[in-house]
């Protein structure tokens, strides 16, 4: 139990701590804003007119401001890598004010982004997901306009005109009704006489206080990344076609110094000027060879068109020297960016630099096309190939016995089913006093 708790604390502790802090801040913002509009004297008349919906909408707006400022921070990839008042029917407000119209637009944009982010749409039509996801630009513009609408106003002279006070020179039915409501709320309180008419003024917009700093940071990083990816040309050195629709791409870029485990965003204007796709670096520059490389598998429309441009009019397995290379399509590389795979260098077995600790085991669950990897250059793979699925529990037990009382890093970049199974084993493995620390990398 102690070992399982140790593994759980390493894998789940920080995530749950951040989650609890995030929930606590959201609850506090919602409740404090709700009570301000529910019982605040300056919002008495506004609350009487709009009811409980006012409290809920303003409390939700406070939570939205906080989360709109947070959601921009994970999009700053380079930074993360470096750090690692009216008496009308309230329903008319929806269609007759700036705040009402922009509020409807905000809901519509969020709905489109949410539905297009589903896994089925991302797999079947990535373009819909990509272009709809970029509606966040429209969302923030509309959000700023929405905050400046000034539809909701607060009372600015509460002391001279207390909520529910009675005019000294008026005996209208409305005045008696208001006094009756005040008497029902405070039965022992004497009627209060108004000294002047109630005055209202719009709120000072607060959304920009939450959003401006993260938004400026994001815009500055996007500008920096655009300049970095556009000014440094990328030269495609070689293209190799492997079995199972896998293409190896070797490139050269001046001043590009990534670390093992990082990834890049690849853009090919001949395929799509706006789409950027992430690929993990499989080869990093060294002192003797400055090229870097990726392996991409042809799975969708973008990778299909890109691979056709790379392999057209050529022998797909041919590698030509740089001076004799054919004309390849123009590509832009953004990055490198950090990922959980970088942590692999922080574990003891890698720091020891012991070749005998490297144990490569490859598992093939589908034997279709197995004969296509029997070439000489794939002998290293075929000699270590095992047919069938790995028995994860037995592998964890074997690794645990060989690394008692040590930290073992488990890294996964693959389907959700495998990721879930490994994650569960890391948190529940009780063998040999070994703490299995789970690291997941996902681009979905």
- Locate the domains of the chain by residue range: 29-219, 233-338, 342-440
Tens of pLDDT, residue by residue, the chain (444 residues): 455 666 777 777 777 788 888 888 889 888 888 888 888 877 777 777 778 887 888 888 888 878 877 777 666 666 666 655 444 555 555 556 677 777 778 888 888 888 888 877 877 777 788 888 888 888 888 887 776 666 667 777 777 777 767 766 554 444 444 444 544 454 555 667 777 777 777 767 777 777 888 888 888 888 888 888 777 778 888 888 887 788 999 998 888 888 888 888 898 888 888 888 888 888 888 888 888 999 988 887 888 888 888 887 554 444 545 444 567 888 888 888 888 777 777 777 654 455 556 677 788 777 665 565 555 556 666 667 777 888 888 888 888 887 788 888 888 887 888 888 888 888 876 666 788 888 887 655
Question: Residue 443: its pLDDT value, please?
Answer: 58
3-state secondary structure the chain: CHHHHHHHHHHHHHHHHHHHHHHHHHHHHHHHHHHHHHHCHHHHHHHHHHCHHHHHHHHHHHHHHHHHHHHCHHHCHHHHHHHCCCCCCHHHHHHHCHHHHHHHHHHHHHHHHHHHCCHHHHHHCHHHHHHHHCCHHHHHHHHHHHHCCCCCEEECCCCCCCCCCECCCCCCHHHHHHHHHHHHHCCCCCCCECCCCCCEEECCCCHHHHHHHHHHHHHHHHHHHHHHHHHCCEEEEEEEEECCCEEEEEEEECCCCCCCCCEEEEECCCCCCCCCEEEEEEECCCCCCCCEEEEEECCCHHHHHHHHHHHCCCCCCCCCCHHHCCCCCCCEEEEEECCHHHHHHHCHHHHHCCHHHCCCCEEECCCCCHHHHCCHHHHHHHCCEEECCCCHHHHHHHHHHHCCCCEEEEEECCCHHHHHHHHHHHHHCCCCCCEEEEEECCCC
Question: Residue 430: its pLDDT value, please?
Answer: 63
Q: Is the pTM of this model over 0.85?
A: no
Enumerate residues 6+ apart whose C-beta is below 8 A from 348: 406, 407
Tokens in use for 12? 């789940």
How far apart are the C-alpha atoms of 1 and 4, rounded to whole Å? 5
CATH superfamily of the domain spanning 233-338: Translation factors (2.40.30.10)
Prior bond of 33 cis (ω within 30°): no
């Amino acid at each position: 139990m102690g070992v399982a708790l140790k593994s759980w604390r390493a894998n789940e502790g920080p995530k749950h701590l951040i989650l609890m802090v995030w929930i606590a801040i959201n609850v506090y913002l919602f409740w404090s804003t709700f009570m301000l509009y529910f019982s605040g004297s300056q919002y008495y008349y506004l609350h009487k007119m709009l009811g409980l919906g006012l409290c809920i909408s303003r409390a939700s707006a406070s939570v939205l401001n906080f989360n709109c400022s947070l959601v921009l921070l994970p999009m700053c990839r380079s930074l993360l890598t470096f750090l690692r008042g009216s008496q009308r029917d309230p329903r008319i407000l929806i269609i007759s004010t700036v705040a009402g119209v922009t509020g409807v637009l905000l809901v519509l944009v969020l709905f489109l982004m949410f539905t297009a982010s589903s896994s089925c749409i991302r797999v079947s039509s990535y373009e819909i997901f990509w272009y709809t996801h970029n509606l966040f630009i429209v969302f923030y513009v509309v959000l700023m306009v929405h905050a400046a609408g000034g539809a909701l106003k607060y009372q600015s002279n509460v002391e001279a005109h207390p909520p529910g006070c009675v005019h000294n020179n008026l005996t209208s039915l409305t005045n008696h009704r208001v006094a009756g409501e005040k008497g029902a709320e405070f039965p022992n309180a004497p009627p209060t006489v108004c000294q002047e008419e109630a005055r209202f003024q719009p709120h000072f917009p607060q959304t920009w206080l939450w959003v401006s700093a993260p938004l400026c940071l994001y815009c500055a990083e996007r500008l920096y990344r655009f300049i970095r990816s556009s000014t440094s040309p990328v030269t495609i050195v070689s293209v190799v076609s492997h079995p199972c629709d896998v293409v190896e791409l070797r490139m050269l870029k001046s001043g590009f110094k990534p670390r093992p485990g990082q990834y890049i965003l690849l853009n090919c204007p001949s395929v799509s000027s706006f789409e950027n796709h992430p690929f993990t670096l499989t080869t990093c520059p060294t002192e003797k060879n400055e090229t870097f490389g990726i392996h991409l598998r042809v799975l969708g429309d973008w990778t299909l068109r890109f691979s056709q441009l790379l392999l057209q009019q050529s022998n797909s397995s041919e590698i030509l020297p740089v001076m004799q290379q054919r004309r390849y399509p123009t590509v832009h590389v953004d990055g490198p960016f950090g990922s959980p795979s970088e942590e692999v260098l922080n574990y003891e077995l890698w720091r020891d630099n012991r070749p005998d600790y490297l144990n490569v085991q490859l598992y093939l669950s589908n034997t279709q096309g197995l004969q296509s990897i029997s070439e000489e250059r794939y002998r290293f793979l075929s000699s270590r190939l095992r047919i069938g699925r790995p028995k994860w529990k037995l592998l964890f037990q074997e690794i645990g016995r060989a690394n008692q009382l040590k930290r073992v890093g488990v890294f996964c970049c693959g389907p959700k089913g495998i990721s879930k199974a490994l994650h569960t084993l890391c948190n529940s493995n009780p063998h040999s006093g070994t703490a299995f620390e789970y690291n997941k990398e996902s681009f979905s």
